[in-house]
Amino acid sequence: MNQESMRDGTWSSEKTDYSLITQCRGCHAPEGNLRTVLEMEPMPLAGMFCETGEEALEAPVFPLTWAHCSHCGLVQVRENISDAFLFSKYNYASSTVPGLVRHFDSYAAFLSDRYGRDAKVRFLEIGCNDGVLLNRLPRKWQRIGWDPSDVARRDAENNSNYQLYPLPFSEATAQASGLEASVDVVSGSNCLAHISDLRDVFQGVRHVLRPGGHLWIEVHDLQALLQGGQWDTIYHEHKVEWSEQALTRCLAPLGLVLRETFRTPMHGGALRICFQKTRVALKTSCGTVPPDPGLAELQRAYEQRYESATARKLLAAADAGKKIAAYGAAGRANVYLNQMSRLPFEYVVDEAPLRMNKFLPRIGTPIVPPSRLQEEPVEACLVTAWNYRDDIVRKNSDFRGKWLTAFGE
């Protein structure tokens, strides 16, 4: 199974393999435990943004299916594209998103209050991105970031606030770090959706955590996704979708026991869960985990996506010769616009320098600054970054068209 590949952020004529997973990403149950629960139209990588319209039109597409593991309950993408290939050029810097900055302000305060601002805490963050959390934690803490992306490396080059390991986190890299049983707190926010072999990561966490140490995980909540019909969050880079049950079943056998669960509004609904390292592995129920009935409803919502109220409004405007646009060129936009290719969006607005003036793959929609809303007005603007809708509407109060959202109402 081959598609064209990307080098230094641009697509070349070389071939790269993708594969279908042969075991659960989280618990390593064999392939026989995986059942397909959702199939979507083949699409390009959601994190890809092209330099030219011509390049965008030639972007490769990949199949996209979701599978459910009957052993642990984890929902995951069957198609596997290597992390190095997906994230060698990463077009996402957390500190450029105001809503995320507010979230990490709050999370840093939460952690500081929990462990003490003046305490001696060794804190390690997996997937630290541009240091948006690490830079907000107490200066007295020993802060360690772990992230292989170019975004993380650029921030670390100009930042002495924390130590960066510019590598993928795994059991092998954890063992080579010299941090065995020395870390008080490990945290991962949104990164566990982007890792191919999660059990390997969890084994690395167990290696670096001291006995009694804590693992804090922030992940998108499968239940929130199903309740909101959020099929726009499903893409190749977003490899898994977690529930509390699936996390518990994956972590308990490694001696990481559930302590606390919180729910937050981040990204349209997220879990914040604490696990503690114990000296012995714990057993979980031997029974199988049936798929959530909401998965079948999600498949139907996806299949009937052109029949939604928002899609009908956008189609009616286009059929009447009126222009439509979108706002927020993150992964959700790439998914929605590619899966809704009958909708002729003029452009998609975005404020992030890493994406501005590029093009969405396959459909060739240009990514433009917010000023375009005034320079080239449209009848309706779909907020594809619907989890930041209020911020977007507030900052663009001069826009006289209709604001629409397809999810998150």
Q: pLDDT, tens digit, for every residue of 311-331?
A: 999 999 999 999 999 999 989
Residue 12 pLDDT > 60: no
Average confidence (pLDDT) over 299-312: 96
Burial class (CB in 10 A: 0-12, 13-18, 19+), 173: middle
What pTM was computed for the model?
0.87
Q: Indicate the DSSP class of residue 320.
A: T
Question: How far does CA 399 lie from the centroid of its chain?
Answer: 29
Q: What are 79's two structure tokens?
A: 């198609």
Angle (nearest 5°) at CA 82 between 182 and 74: 70
CA pair distance 143, 103, nearest whole angstrom:
19
> Which residue is associated with the tokens 């077009």?
91
**Which secondary-structure segment (H or E) carries 235?**
none
User: pLDDT tens-digit profile of 194-233?
Assistant: 888 999 999 999 999 999 999 999 999 999 999 999 999 9
Write the CB contacts of 365 (distance below 8 Å, at least 6 apart in sequence).
326, 337, 345, 346, 347, 348, 359
Average confidence (pLDDT) over 273-283: 87
Residue 231: name the closest of 388, 309, 339 by CA: 339
Q: Quick one: pLDDT band at residue 15, thresholds 50, 70, 90?
A: very low
Domains in the chain, please, with CATH?
A: 1-303 (3.40.50.150), 305-404 (3.40.50.720)
**Which secondary-structure segment (H or E) carries 339?**
helix 331-339
CA pair distance 156, 163, nearest whole angstrom:
8
Q: What are 212's two structure tokens?
A: 């009694």
Q: Quick one: pLDDT band at residue 3, thresholds 50, 70, 90?
A: very low
Residue 14 pLDDT > 60: no
CA pair distance 169, 203, nearest whole angstrom:
10
CA pair distance 25, 29, nearest whole angstrom:
8
CA pair distance 139, 275, nearest whole angstrom:
25
CB 358 within 8 A of CB 367: yes
The pLDDT score that the predictor gives to residue 195 is 87
Average confidence (pLDDT) over 371-379: 96
The pLDDT score that the predictor gives to residue 279 is 82
CB 43 within 8 A of CB 65: no
Average confidence score pLDDT of the chain: 90
User: pLDDT tens-digit profile of 33-85?
Assistant: 999 999 999 999 998 899 999 999 999 999 999 999 999 999 999 999 876 66
Q: What are 288's two structure tokens?
A: 């199988």
Write the CB contacts of 86 (distance below 8 Å, at least 6 apart in sequence).
45, 47, 194, 236, 237
> Cα–Cα distances in Å, from 66 out to 60, 69, 101, 173, 179?
20, 10, 31, 29, 36
Q: Indicate the DSSP class of residue 365.
A: P
Single-letter amino acid code for the residue at 192: L
Residue 123: name the closest of 182, 206, 201, 193 by CA: 182
Neighbour count for residue 60 (Cβ, 10 Å)? 20
